[in-house]
Amino acid sequence: MNITDRRRVLGPSDAQPFSLSNVVLADDQNMADVAESLSDDQIPTKIYLKSGVVNNASGSAYYESGAIKLIATVYGPRPIRGLFTTSAKLSVETRILPISVLSLSTFSNLASTSISTQTLSNIVASKSSQSSVLEKNISSFINEAILPSIFVDNYPKSSIDVSLTIISSGKNSKSVIAAATTATSMALVDAGIELKDVVTAGSVLLSRGNDNTTFTMDPNVIPQGDDVDAVIAYTSMIDDSITGLWVEGNKVDEDEMKQLMDKTRLMSRNLRNIVNEMLISEFQQKETIARNLQVSGSGGEKEKKNNEDEDDQMTE
């Protein structure tokens, strides 16, 4: 039986969305990208972070760095109906908006190079209402990476829902995930949820072109052939322990793995410095507001006392 979704405004049933397989490329268009090389302390390049951007959420954070633009929103802790749990349940959902290039550019490589099955399965991303495999994988990575940092035992019988919206992405999914991890942590802080540490993540691309391997931090290119890309999340303040690790590619030896970890750790520390600075300035702002309120509120308290006196007198 053919069931049509009457709750949405759908087009004709035979409609086929445009996909990159329909696009005829002009001769002068160059699809290959070259990774920019920057010195280590320049990574991540330029970041804009702002929390509390979404009105109808407990906490939120907006992250922008180059082509990456994303919003993490936190709803909760809110009560779970039914079953009893001794600790909070964290759930993450990710949505890549159709304007985001991530899905499209990975798709375009289908014909030219062998890429991982991970990115391959993202074809549907633009756009059915079902979430794509990449979206699901991002969600589960963030869930794993963030969960160790939350004092979940302090929130029994409740759930913390994180919703990630990737408005625009670069071409490398790992860089987006690193950004999303950081943004999610920021949103959790904004929501006032008790945390052991703020998780930040670093991304790196190991490219094996022309017999020499190079490492690029915070890459904005698609891995080609034997390239390896990785995102590793750290709790860099308390013990620098790894909370999430996603390495994709093949033939990684021990030395390369160590390099991958070093690079991502460096990036996540740099990110952490920015996050710290940002948190401190936001707390200072909040403090000033609270202090101003107190000053104006103290008059009210006096009034209350007078009223109480009057009440007492009346009872006498």
Partner 1 sequence: MSIRPIQFPDEVFARVCPDLYFERHLSLGLRPHSLRKFDEFRQIKVKFGNTDSENWQDYSSNLTLGTSSVRSDGINIVCSVTGGITEQEPVAGSGIYPNVEILRGGVGASSANGGAPSEEEMVASQGICDILRRLVNKESHNKCQFELFEKDLETGKSTVIPNKWLILNCHINVLSRNGPISDYAWIAVLEALKDVTVPEFRYNYDTQQVEIMSGAAHPGQKLDFAFLNNKTQIPVASSFGILNANLEVEDSENEDGDETEVTLEKTQVVIADIQGESEEVATSTTHQGSRVSVMVSGDEKLSAFSFVGVTRDMNAIKQCLALAKSRAQSIGAKVDSGDTLWSTEETYRG
* Residues 32 to 91 in contact with partner 1, rule: CB under 8 A: 44-50, 53-57, 60, 62, 64-67, 69, 71, 73-76, 91
Q: Is the dihedral of CA 72, 179, 195, 246 positive or negative?
A: positive
Query: What part of residues 123-142 is at the interface with partner 1 (CB under 8 A)?
Result: 126-127, 129-131
Centre a 10 Å sphere on the Cβ of residue 58 and count the other Cβ atoms it contains: 19
Query: What part of residues 187-206 is at the interface with partner 1 (CB under 8 A)?
Result: none
Least distance between partner 1 and beta carbon 130 (Å): 6
Among 153, 277, 287, 309, binds partner 1 (CB under 8 A): 277
- The DSSP annotation for 178-244 comes to HHHHHHHHHHHHHTT--BSS--EEEEEEEEEETTEEEEEES--S---TT-EEEEEEEETTTT-EEEE
Within a 13 Å sphere around the CA of 230, how many CA atoms are in the beta-carbon half? 27
Eight-class DSSP state of 21? G
Query: What part of residues 246-275 is at the interface with partner 1 (CB under 8 A)?
Result: 274
Could you say whether residue 18 binds partner 1 (CB under 8 A)? yes
Query: Per DSSP, what are the bridge partners of residue 242?
Result: 234
141 CB contacts (<8 Å, ≥6 apart)? 177, 181, 231, 244, 246
Could you say whether residue 213 binds partner 1 (CB under 8 A)? no
Least distance between partner 1 and beta carbon 239 (Å): 25
8 vs 302, beta carbon nearer partner 1: 8
Among 31, 238, 289, 290, binds partner 1 (CB under 8 A): 31
**Residue 188 to residue 173: CA distance in whole angstroms:** 22
Centre a 10 Å sphere on the Cβ of residue 131 and count the other Cβ atoms it contains: 16
6 vs 251, beta carbon nearer partner 1: 6
Q: Are 178 and 145 in contact (CB under 8 A)?
A: no
Burial grade of 228 (CB within 10 A; 0-12, 13-18, 19 or more): buried
Least distance between partner 1 and beta carbon 253 (Å): 33
Could you say whether residue 311 binds partner 1 (CB under 8 A)? yes
Could you say whether residue 121 binds partner 1 (CB under 8 A)? no
Could you say whether residue 9 binds partner 1 (CB under 8 A)? yes
Least distance between partner 1 and beta carbon 213 (Å): 26
Least distance between partner 1 and beta carbon 267 (Å): 12
**Residue 223 to residue 177: CA distance in whole angstroms:** 15
Least distance between partner 1 and beta carbon 91 (Å): 5
Least distance between partner 1 and beta carbon 40 (Å): 14
Could you say whether residue 163 binds partner 1 (CB under 8 A)? yes
